[in-house]
Each structure stands twice: as structure tokens, then as C-alpha cells.
Amino acid sequence: MQRTSPDPPQIPFSRRSSRPLGFYDLTLDQLTERMTAWGFPAFRARQVWGWAYRNLALGYDEMTNLPAALRENLAAELPLSTLATVRELTADNGETIKTLYRTGDGELVETVLMLYPGRATVCVSCQVGCAVGCAFCATGLGGLTRNLTSGEIVAQAVGAARRARDRGRALTNLVMMGMGEPLQNYAETMEFIATLNDPDGMNFGARRITISTSGIVPKIDALADEPWQVNLAVSLHAPGDELRSSLVPINRRYPVAELMAACQRYIDRTGRRVSFEYALMRGINDSDDTARALADLLRGMLCHVNIIPLNPVDVLPYERPDPAGIERFADTLRAAGIPATVRYSRGLDIDAACGQLRAKASELASETAAPA
Ligand code: SAH
Ligand code: SF4
């Protein structure tokens, strides 16, 4: 493993309460409005947009065909990225790249880029911490500090696209499986998707994006009504209420039956398959009976189960089953007619503050490989 710690660039503002905070927080219309207010013609906004999202410029100084006065205004008023790179870690022969960012108000955020043959997937964070507090998850331990803005999520995606490009690769997939619960930061998540999807910008198809949720039922319904053809992954982890409530506390508010009904409505409305994530924990949710109960729950649904052998978190008591136990659980599901895949982690030797990020990052990547 190789570590680099470049000095983070100075961010020219501290925390501000009102949006937008930085360039990536703006829509093209908002940017145009700003720039015309400064006295520049509207076509300049489109030029800057192209530099930022097509050329993946690191700074305004790279935008060489813009008037110097405009570049100065932009640099003074609108930081391009509000995230500064604190550290980059690589693993798996350089094919897993984890970036630790610092936000303008000093919070730390993680992003992981995974390179595979023919595919490059980034796993982004959407919150600092998380309010859901799942029993086995490192992110949930300290509760929620704050939501990330859409621009802070966009910055992670643009940074990953740039890092992929530096290695001669294009970003093909994006999973919201880093820190945080995307459906508890719904508005920013939707803006983030809109920005990535913009045909004048990155033109990153929603079908290449996967949103992972612990099961915020009303927001699953809202998502089904959005124009975006995103993939939905639901972190199930247990087939029944008693066990699930002990692992995923939000289950007390949205129990399994309600969650399943919402998933079925999502499938009916979108025609798209739902993925269920299942973090397998020894002696907790890995018995044959639990596998059969899971199969009974999912039978007949347009779905797929991703079994993620637990990535143990130091301060938490949960363990990963042995390989034979993992295979037996998967086989029991398959024998009952439920498609199931075991996903092993990438970047295991990277020392991560957020245990789950690296555990989950490779998950679903292969399923979402189809270009939009
Ligand atoms: N908050 C969302 C998305 C981020 S977590 C959600 O919970 O779905 C992404 C995935 O990693 C979820 O399935 C989550 O349950 C799982 N996860 C969290 N901690 C883990 C760990 N220690 N080992 C394996 N998977 C973990
Ligand atoms: Fe939050 Fe997801 Fe971690 Fe649960 S697993 S605490 S929802 S980030």
C-alpha cells in the first residue's frame, strides 16, 4: 500500500448556511444567472460548465479560453470544489483508490474508486455520519453530523472521474454506498443525480447510478416517481422484524412488510429489479433457517440478493462467517430460487475510518455495468 499526503489546498470560505456553496452546487441556469449578473454573456457559462464537467478541470486557471477577469471572478466568488484532498490510499495493485477529503467546515469524507477490467466504479458518501445507526456499521457510530450538499457529492464523482482518467480509464458506474443514508438527504441526492446526468456536462446516465438505502419507505415511493432511471439497493440484512430491528433500527419505523410493499411498488412502477443487500454476520443472520425465511420473503419478486460477508469493525462485536458458511447461505437461497451473489470486498488493506465503505464498495458494481 502506498500513502500520499499532499497539503490540502486552502478553501476560500468557511461554513455557510445558505446554498449554493461552490461551483458544483449550481445548476447551469444558476451559473448563467450569476455570470450574466457579473456582466458576462450567457455562452460563457456553458463554456465553464464544459471545462468543469467534460474536461474535468481541477481549477479555473486551466480554463484557458476564458477572459482573465471572468476566471478571477469565479475564483473569488465560487470555489470550484469545496472539498480538499487530504490523503489518497491505494490497494489491490493500485486498482482501488480511496480518497479522504476535507469539507470547507473541516469534516472528513471518504470516496473509493475501484478499477476492474472494463469497468470503473466510484462509491460516494452523502452525509458526514448517519442518523440510522445500524448495529454493525462504523459510519453510524457517531450519529449524523450533517448532510453533504449536492456539490460536495458531485465533487467526489468528478474527482473519481479525474483519477480514473489519469489512469487511462473512464468512470462507468457510481454507487451511493459510502457514508450516510441517501434517502435521508433526498433533495441533495436528487440534485446530485441531475448534475451528473446533464447532457452538457458529464452526461453520466442515471442507469449507471445505484442508490443504497436502509429502507426509508416514503422516499422509496418518491424515488419511484422521479424521472431518473437509477438502480435501487435495499439494505435488508434480516428477513424478520425482530432481528432486523436489532440490526437496522429504522425497521421499527418502517417494518419489513411495509418495506417489501414499497419495494414491490417500486418494481411495479419502474419495471426495474431491486437489489437486496445482506451483510452476513456469524451467528446473527447466517443460519439455514434465516436463509429459508429470506427466500420465502423474496419469492416471486423481481430481485437479486447481494451477500456481503461482514467487514468487521474494531469496536463492534460482529464477525464474518467462515467461507463455507457464506457459501452455504448463498446456496440455500439459490436452491430456493432466489438469485444471490457473494461480493467480497476490495481494498481490505486500506486503513479506513469508515469500515463499511470499503466493505460495501465492490457490491453491485457488476450489476450496474450496463451503460445508460
Ligand atoms: N446508508 C445506506 C448506504 C450506505 S451503507 C445503506 O445503509 O444502505 C452501504 C452498505 O454497506 C449497506 O448495505 C450497509 O448496510 C453496508 N454495511 C455497513 N457496514 C457494513 C460492514 N461493517 N460490513 C459490511 N457491510 C456493511
Ligand atoms: Fe447509516 Fe447505512 Fe451505516 Fe446504516 S449502514 S448506519 S443506514 S450508513
Which residue ranges in the chain fall short of pLDDT 50? 1-17, 351-355, 357-372
77 Cβ contact partners less than 8 Å away, ≥ 6 residues apart: 34
Residue 79: DSSP 8-state: -
Using a 6 Å cutoff on CB, does residue 216 contact ligand 2?
A: no
Q: Is domain 84-367 in CATH 3.20.20.80, yes or no?
A: no
The pLDDT assigned to 368 comes to 32
Distance between CA atoms of residues 148 and 192, nearest Å: 10
DSSP helix/strand/coil, 161: helix
pLDDT in tens, 149-186: 999 999 999 999 999 999 999 999 999 999 999 999 99
The pLDDT assigned to 7 comes to 40
The pLDDT assigned to 362 comes to 37
Provide the residue type at 65 as one letter.
Answer: N
Pairing verdict, β 127-129 and 2-4: unpaired
Q: Is domain 23-77 in CATH 3.40.800.10, yes or no?
A: no
Using a 6 Å cutoff on CB, does residue 359 contact ligand 1?
A: yes
How does DSSP assign 92-158, residue by residue? TTTTEEEEEEE-TTS-EEEEEEEEETTEEEEE---EEE-SS--TT-TGGGG-EEEEPPHHHHHHHHH
The pLDDT assigned to 344 comes to 83
**Catalytically annotated residue among 130, 263, 303, 354:** 354
Is there a catalytic annotation at residue 354?
yes
What is the model's pTM?
0.91
The pLDDT assigned to 20 comes to 59
Dist. CA 358 → ligand 1 center (Å): 10
Dist. CA 135 → ligand 2 center (Å): 9
Domain residue spans of the chain? 23-77, 84-367
Q: Per-residue b/e over 154-176, b at no fewer than 16 CB within 10 Å?
A: bbbbbbbbebbeeeebebbbbbb
DSSP helix/strand/coil, 58: coil
Q: CATH topology of 23-77 equal to that of 84-367? A: no
Q: Which run of H or E residues covers position 332?
A: helix 323-335
Using a 6 Å cutoff on CB, does residue 177 contact ligand 1?
A: yes
Q: Which of 132, 184, 247, 254 is the best mutation target for the ligand 2 pocket, counting ligand atoms within 8 Å of the beta carbon and taking the most?
A: 132
Taking CB atoms within 8 Å and a gap of at least 24, the contacts of 10-19 are 10/84, 11/79, 11/82, 11/84, 11/104, 12/75, 12/76, 12/79, 13/79, 13/104, 14/104, 14/105, 15/104, 15/105, 16/104, 19/149
As a residue count, the chain comes to 372
Dist. CA 356 → ligand 1 center (Å): 6
